[in-house]
């Protein structure tokens, strides 16, 4: 039975798998993002994240241990000089897998695997804070006092036409309606008698 046999052999022998993962790790370190199948990306993530964790401590022993896996001096130098200072504060999760759909030829599920701290587009979006907006309704801003009273800046009143103000019309209309209502009620009583 295959209980607890969780390694994905990727259809390769052990030596072929180790060489492939080392080459993919070097490509990821040098280019910061690569496109591959999802199965290979998951295997690569478990291969490279311990190496990045080891690169946080820059000692001769750490360099030798990382070189044992990568077998590339330029990649080891890049890892210890460029990548490890950026990920020094991060407690793990140095890579991100973004699925991109299926490959046309064999319908394999494809993805992009990238180093989290080196995606400039996403970092730029995170650093630019969104405006804090609230969903409140507010009354329109009040006009300055001069506009309310009808006095212009020169101190004189603007020319007005002979139109009664809305307040006067309302008061007059209300008094007329009250008088009419009272008189019509009185007339109705007189007619009923």
Question: Could you state, in chain order, the average pLDDT of each consecutive group of 10 residues for the chain (193 residues)?
Answer: 91 97 97 96 97 96 97 96 94 96 96 92 75 71 64 57 52 53 53 53
Give the domain ranges of the chain: 14-119, 164-193
Say which CATH architecture domain 14-119 belongs to. Answer: Alpha-Beta Complex (3.90)
Q: How far is CA 25 from CA 76, 80, 143, 155, in A?
A: 11, 14, 66, 79
For 177, the token pair is 């309606």
Name which of 106, 100, 91 is nearest 33 in CA terms. Answer: 100
Check residue 127 and give its pLDDT. 75
What are the C-alpha distances in Å from 31 to residues 17, 44, 112, 181, 183? Answer: 21, 15, 12, 89, 94
Q: How far apart are CA 89 and CA 104, in angstroms?
A: 40
């Amino acid at each position: 039975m295959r209980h607890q046999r969780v390694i994905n052999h990727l259809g390769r022998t052990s030596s072929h798998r180790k060489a492939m993962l080392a080459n993919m790790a070097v490509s990821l370190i040098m280019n910061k993002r690569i496109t591959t199948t999802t199965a290979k990306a998951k295997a690569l993530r478990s291969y490279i994240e311990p190496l990045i964790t080891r690169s946080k401590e820059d000692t001769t022993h750490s360099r030798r241990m990382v070189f044992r896996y990568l077998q590339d001096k330029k990649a080891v130098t890049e890892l210890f000089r460029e990548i490890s200072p950026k990920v020094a504060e991060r407690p793990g999760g140095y890579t991100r897998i973004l699925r991109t759909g299926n490959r046309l030829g064999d319908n394999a599920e494809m993805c992009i695997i990238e180093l989290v701290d080196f995606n400039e587009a996403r970092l730029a979006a995170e650093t630019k804070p969104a405006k804090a907006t609230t969903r409140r309704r507010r009354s329109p801003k009040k006009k300055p006092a001069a506009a309310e009273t009808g006095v212009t800046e020169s101190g004189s009143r603007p020319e007005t036409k002979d139109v009664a103000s809305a307040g006067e019309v309302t008061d007059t209309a209300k008094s007329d309606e009250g008088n009419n209502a009272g008189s019509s009620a009185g007339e109705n009583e007189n007619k009923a008698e």
